[in-house]
Every structure is written in C-alpha cells, then in structure tokens.
Amino acid sequence: MRAVMLLTCLAAAATPALRGQAVTLPPIVRAGFEAYKLRGASAAMAMWMKDSPITDFSDGTRALEQIETAYGKMVGYEPLEAVAFGTYASRTYLVMLYEKGPVYVRFDCYMPKDQWIVTAFLFNTKPELILPTKMMSH
C-alpha cells in the first residue's frame, strides 16, 4: 500500500513538470496572435503573411471570420508542440481558444535570412485533421 501511495505521489509531482515544458514559437506566429487579440482576423493574417510567399490570404481571413461567427471571440491560444526540420524550417501546432470551443492550427515557418516567415498554415475545428497521430494518442 505504501508503495502504491509513493508511486501516486511521484506521478502527481512529475505531471506539472512534464506539461510545463514551454514550446518556443517563431516570433512571427506569436506576433500574429497578438495582432489577432488586439485588432482581429485581418490584422493577424497580415502579420502572419508578412514577407511570406503566400500573397493572397483572403481565404484565411474569411476562415477565421467564419470560425468567430460560430465559436465567438478568440480568448487565447496554447502552443502544443514545435517540430524543427533542421535549422531553417519548423512546424508549430497550437490550439486557439474561443468562447465556444477550440480550433486547431499548424504553421509551417522558414527562416531564409534573419527572420522567420510563414510558408503555410492550416486551421480546423477537428484536431485529427491538424495534429499528428502521436499527439492524438495521449
């Protein structure tokens, strides 16, 4: 009984440490979320697409506006995981927190010189369409 209690205490003590590992976001991704909180979807998309090869981001803006219509205002976001593809490319997974539910997002970023740019992004209310399988099995 004592051994079970000790294991339970150790597991409980380790849980915050395992969850507490901070995910480092590319600055362009963080700046877009800050723009979204202050000035809305079009400001966020403009920030995320700054210097990006994606020149027409009107579909992304419309998608965020449709999400807001259904889910309410974005109240925050939570970085889930960042995966480096070498030194110059990365994919970041996040959950956007709205008043009525979560939206899952991934950003592909590239650093051609001294600043990160967004080269692709995808939003969806279904996590299985955004998150890797290994994240779904937790």
Class of residue 49 by CB neighbours under 10 A (exposed 0-12, middle 13-18, buried 19+): buried
Instruction: Kindly report whether the global pTM for this prediction surpasses the value 0.85.
Output: no
Q: At 69, list the tokens.
A: 């219509």
The residue with greater pLDDT, 76 or 19, is 76
What's the mean per-residue pLDDT of the chain?
A: 86
The confidence band for 17, taking pLDDT boundaries of 50, 70 and 90, is: very low
Separation of alpha carbons 44 and 123, rounded Å: 13
User: Taking residues 43-53, what's their average pLDDT?
Assistant: 94
Max mean pLDDT range (14-28, 56-70, 98-112):
98-112
Total number of residues shown for the chain = 138
- Would 68 be classed as within a structural domain? yes
Separation of alpha carbons 71 and 67, rounded Å: 6
Contact (CB, 8 A) for 119 and 52: yes
- Would 63 be classed as within a structural domain? yes
**92: domain CATH number?**
3.10.450.50
User: At which residue do the structure tokens 């939570």 appear?
Assistant: 78
Strand order in the sheet with 89-98: 74-84, 89-98, 101-110, 117-124
Separation of alpha carbons 94 and 1, rounded Å: 40
- Would 75 be classed as within a structural domain? yes
- Would 79 be classed as within a structural domain? yes
- Would 3 be classed as within a structural domain? no
- Would 54 be classed as within a structural domain? yes
Which amino acid would we find at residue 119? Answer: T
- Partnered with residue 86 across adjacent β-strands are none
Separation of alpha carbons 50 and 42, rounded Å: 12
- Would 106 be classed as within a structural domain? yes
Give the domain extent around 59: 24-132
- Would 6 be classed as within a structural domain? no
* Span 85-133, pLDDT tens digits: 999 999 999 999 999 999 999 999 999 999 999 999 999 999 999 999 9
Q: What total of structural domains would you count in the chain? A: 1
Q: At 6, list the tokens.
A: 């000790």
